[in-house]
Every structure is written in structure tokens, then in C-alpha cells.
Chain A
């Protein structure tokens, strides 16, 4: 069972990217786990599904960029860039999914720097 806590690399990497690098949320770590996708800045409910999907893809690609190129993460076995991004997009376009649920998907697909 995935747990949202500040020592979990997927949790704090996602929160930091959303809060301080991508302007998606402005809450502290503890208050961010239960935020839903439609609480994030990118999630414009007025968009058509195709445009929302494109927007979510950009967010997922930037998260992947940050994790791999800046944070030193790499993909878990049997995971590649396309799968990792596709998994994140599937959560990002679902208005009822939470930040914690997105972190769980990220935790499955990435091995973070110094992750035990």
C-alpha cells in the first residue's frame, strides 16, 4: 500500500515539482496529497477531451523531464519513457484522481535517487 509521506521520494519529488517548479498547486506537502486533478492549475474542465489530453501530456512529459534529467531518477524494470508518461496521463485526465494516486503510479514506474 502506497503511503504519502515526506520521506517517500515519489511523493516529495511530485509535490516539489508541482508546487515549486510547475505552478500546479500552492499547498504544503501534508495538505497536497488529497488534492484532486481538477484542483491543479492545468486541469481546465472547459477544454475538449483532446485538448485536455494534450495538456496532460505536456505536464507528464515535464514531470518525466524533471525526474530523469534533474533529480537523477531512472525507470523501473519493464518501464520506458512512453509507458511512464502514458501511466501519468491516464491519472492526470481523471478529475477525481488525487495527487497521492498520481504519486503511487510514479512510484511504480520510477526508481528515484537514493530510493531504497
Chain B
């Protein structure tokens, strides 16, 4: 797109939407007329005008005024412009001194809605992000990448607490919380008595969670001659038995060994598996576009995109408390499966990869960990601990 065409289109939109007085395009005409009184030669005038037209500050000022007028004249219709950042600038490559006017843009729009129905809550959120650089002379565009991402999140929650609407109970619970906050020893008789009283009026329940997040990414250069589509979807499923008397909490066998340790070390007064530590399961379908994967290239002869399924779950619970140090046990399990993998990848069993890591961690940062398996090449950045035993202070 030529910059003159761009300027004309922009002025046309601005004038038709907000009226000629609203936009200071007339300032430019005044400037040209004044320039003509100083320079008699049309070539000199053209050189001066071109210098002004090539100045990014002119467009940045016009854009700023455009946004201001848009919000003053019709704030609702043009509200989305508040999410759009446009910055005009000159592009120059390293090979020569030529410059090209252009702009960089960054659009981040989010919309969310929540629907409540009894103990259930459903929320939808939609996000559109776009960013890129456009040079009017594309040969001078040193950052020729346009990225557009569309996110949609669906979440469903159910349960968590039995609803209360009695204002006298709100007051009673408020008083108990304030009293408990002033007690140093939360295992003292006074504290336990207050907690018993609190439990009569506030009943927690099991909470269920489901989240679905499809993601659609699109990358291209500015004239769209090179483009790639990056789809993916993540599904999270979770359940938390916040009430320790709930059967589901009692069935959290993952926490049994640690419940015994908590009982021995005095954190808990009884054998109490925590329903709050029930793990979340996450399923992800990704269309992986490898970059820089020399191993894959040497094995398959190319780095073509491929579909992959990932499953992940994790667990963390407290084991003990020593002085002011909490000791936690944490673990994470990931499984990756490449769909329709090339035979060479299958032969080397790289089409399904397992990664498990477990760690003992203290509040001050001391940890011991053990990891088994490997993460796929493109997910290496997610690797927190290496194989073996580590001891790190941070």
C-alpha cells in the first residue's frame, strides 16, 4: 500500500465519521500554503511537503486526535479503538540508508461474560490479539511478521460452598473470624471451639471444574505470501473436595502417606487426607510447528508440522512443618503422543514420550527432586528439573 493512498483513505474515513473540523487535515493545507509563500519553486515546496509526509510524528498526532474525537463523538461504537495501539515509525534495513514509513500495531481485545444458575457458574471469555509491523515499502520491513491469535475460554464451576443468605449468620461468622485471627495457637482449645462453632454455619461442598480453551493462531508476513495456521485446544477437568468429611476427600489415596506424616509431625490432630489436593487433569491437542529442531530434521528429513496430544496432571501436598519451614511434596506427570508420526519417529519411540518429576521442597527453597523421561524438544523450556538429584538454594 502506498503511503499517499493510506493518507487519503484515512482522511476520508476521519472526515466522513467526525466532520472536517474534527480532524486537523486542514493544518496540513495551511502549512503547504505557507510553504508556498516562502519557496517560489514547486520542487522545493514538494521536497518540504514530502519531508512532512514522511515524518511518523504527523501520523501519530493525527491518530491520537482520531482516537480522541472517536471517543468524544460516539464512545460506544468506537470503544474497541482503546484496545488498539498504533505507532507510526520509519523502517530502515541494515543494507542501505533508505527508510520507509510504516506502522506497528498491537490489538488486544477481551470480552467476558459469566452466567450464574444456582450452584453452577458458566463463564465465556473471548480474546483477540493481533500485532505486527507494516512498512509501506515492504522490502525495508525488518520485522515482517504478523501474528493474530483468537482465544476462547469456556469454564464451568459447580459447588464449593453451601449458600447462606441469613444476615445474622454473616455477622456471627464475621465475629468468629476476627476472634480467630487474634489467636496465636490455632490448635488451642479456644481456637478449636470457635472453629467448631464456625463449622455449624458454614458448610463447604465439593467443587467441580471444567475448562475448554480452543486457541487459533495465525502467523504471516505482511503481504500474506507466507502464512501458517496454529490451532490447539486444552481441556481441564478438576474436582476439589473442600469438605474434609466428604467421601471424595476420604478417597484421595494419593494423600494418604502424607496424611500419616502430617499426623506424626503434629500438623493435623487426626488422620486427614486433603480433598483440596485432588489433582487436575489437562488434555491438550496441539498442531506443533517445529522450529530449530535439528534432531527431527535429521531423522525425518524435514521439520513439517504435526498434530500431538498431551496429557498432564500434577499433585502437591504439605508433609510437615519444621519451625517456619513448610515441607511440600510435589509431582507432575506428562504424556505426549504424536498422531500419525513418521516411521523413523515411531521406530525410535519418540512418538510417545513420558515425563515424570517429583520433588521435596521447603519454604526457603531447598529441594530434592527426581525426574524420569524426557520432554519433547519444543517443550524443553518447561523442564524445571533435570534427571538426578538436585539441591538448590534460591
Q: Do A and B come from the same complex?
A: yes
A interface residues with partner B (beta carbon < 8 Å):
6-7, 9, 11-13, 15-16, 19-24, 26-31, 35, 39, 41-51, 54-55, 57-58, 61-62, 65-66, 69-72, 80-82, 86, 112-114
Contacts of A42 in B (CB 8 A): 276, 316
User: Which listed residue (B204, B238, B357) contacts A46, Cβ 8 A?
Assistant: B357
- Expressed in whole angstroms, the Cα–Cα distance for A69 and B120 within the complex equals 12
Q: Are B384 and A45 in contact (CB under 8 A)?
A: yes
Listed from nearest, the 8 A-B pairs whose CB atoms lie closest are: A72-B170, A6-B181, A46-B332, A65-B160, A44-B316, A29-B181, A54-B236, A12-B181
Q: Are A30 and B202 in contact (CB under 8 A)?
A: no
The reply to whether the CB of B359 lies closer than 8 angstroms to some CB of chain A is yes
Q: Are A81 and B167 in contact (CB under 8 A)?
A: no
The reply to whether the CB of B95 lies closer than 8 angstroms to some CB of chain A is no
User: Which listed residue (A16, A31, A51, A66) contacts B236, Cβ 8 A?
Assistant: A51
Q: Can you name the residue of chain A whose Cβ is closest to the Cβ of B326?
A: A39
Interface segment out of the listed B63-71, B183-191, B289-297: B183-191
Q: Are B312 and A47 in contact (CB under 8 A)?
A: yes
Contacts of A20 in B (CB 8 A): 180, 186, 195, 198
Q: Are B164 and A41 in contact (CB under 8 A)?
A: no
B interface majority secondary structure? strand
User: Which listed residue (A6, A30, A70, A114) contacts B161, Cβ 8 A?
Assistant: A70
Q: Are A66 and B161 in contact (CB under 8 A)?
A: yes
- Expressed in whole angstroms, the Cα–Cα distance for A74 and B384 within the complex equals 40
Q: Are A19 and B186 in contact (CB under 8 A)?
A: yes
Interface segment out of the listed B101-109, B277-285, B299-307, B338-346: B277-285
Q: Are A45 and B164 in contact (CB under 8 A)?
A: no
Contacts of B46 in A (CB 8 A): none
Q: Can you name the residue of chain B whose Cβ is closest to the Cβ of A63?
A: B160
Q: Are B316 and A82 in contact (CB under 8 A)?
A: no
Q: Can you name the residue of chain B whose Cβ is closest to the Cβ of A72?
A: B170
In chain B between 172 and 215, which residues have their CB closer than 8 angstroms to a CB of chain A? 173-174, 177-178, 180-186, 195, 198, 202, 204, 207, 209, 211, 213
Q: Can you name the residue of chain B whose Cβ is closest to the Cβ of A44?
A: B316
Contacts of B178 in A (CB 8 A): 6-7, 12
Contacts of A114 in B (CB 8 A): 170-171, 174
Q: Are A12 and B121 in contact (CB under 8 A)?
A: no
- What distance in Å separates the Cβ of B242 from its nearest Cβ neighbour in chain A? 6
Beyond A69-B161, A70-B164, A72-B167, is A58–B280 a contact (Cβ under 8 Å)? Answer: yes
Contacts of B125 in A (CB 8 A): 82
User: Which listed residue (A12, A62, A80) contacts B242, Cβ 8 A?
Assistant: A62
User: Which listed residue (B181, B184, B357) contacts A16, Cβ 8 A?
Assistant: B181
Q: Are A82 and B181 in contact (CB under 8 A)?
A: no
- What distance in Å separates the Cβ of B203 from its nearest Cβ neighbour in chain A? 9
Q: Can you name the residue of chain B whose Cβ is closest to the Cβ of A6?
A: B181
Q: Are A15 and B181 in contact (CB under 8 A)?
A: yes
Best-surrounded residue of A24, A29, A30 (most CB of chain B within 10 A): A29
- What distance in Å separates the Cβ of B119 from its nearest Cβ neighbour in chain A? 9
- What distance in Å separates the Cβ of A60 from its nearest Cβ neighbour in chain B? 10
Contacts of A57 in B (CB 8 A): 155, 209, 211
- What distance in Å separates the Cβ of B308 from its nearest Cβ neighbour in chain A? 14
User: Which listed residue (B113, B185, B280, B328) contacts A55, Cβ 8 A?
Assistant: B280
Q: Can you name the residue of chain B whose Cβ is closest to the Cβ of A80?
A: B114
- Expressed in whole angstroms, the Cα–Cα distance for A44 and B312 within the complex equals 13
Contacts of B234 in A (CB 8 A): 50
The reply to whether the CB of B321 lies closer than 8 angstroms to some CB of chain A is yes
Contacts of A113 in B (CB 8 A): 170-171, 174
Q: Are B186 and A28 in contact (CB under 8 A)?
A: yes
- Expressed in whole angstroms, the Cα–Cα distance for A19 and B274 within the complex equals 13
Q: Are A44 and B332 in contact (CB under 8 A)?
A: yes
Beyond A47-B332, A58-B240, A61-B121, is A41–B317 a contact (Cβ under 8 Å)? Answer: yes
Contacts of B123 in A (CB 8 A): 81-82
Contacts of A43 in B (CB 8 A): 316
- What distance in Å separates the Cβ of A34 from its nearest Cβ neighbour in chain B? 10
Q: Are A48 and B334 in contact (CB under 8 A)?
A: yes
User: Which listed residue (A28, A66, A69, A71) contacts B184, Cβ 8 A?
Assistant: A28
Contacts of B177 in A (CB 8 A): 12-13, 16, 71
The reply to whether the CB of B141 lies closer than 8 angstroms to some CB of chain A is no
The reply to whether the CB of B216 lies closer than 8 angstroms to some CB of chain A is no
Add 5 more A-B contacts to A39-B326, A71-B174, A82-B125 (CB < 8 A).
A21-B204, A26-B267, A55-B314, A61-B157, A61-B160
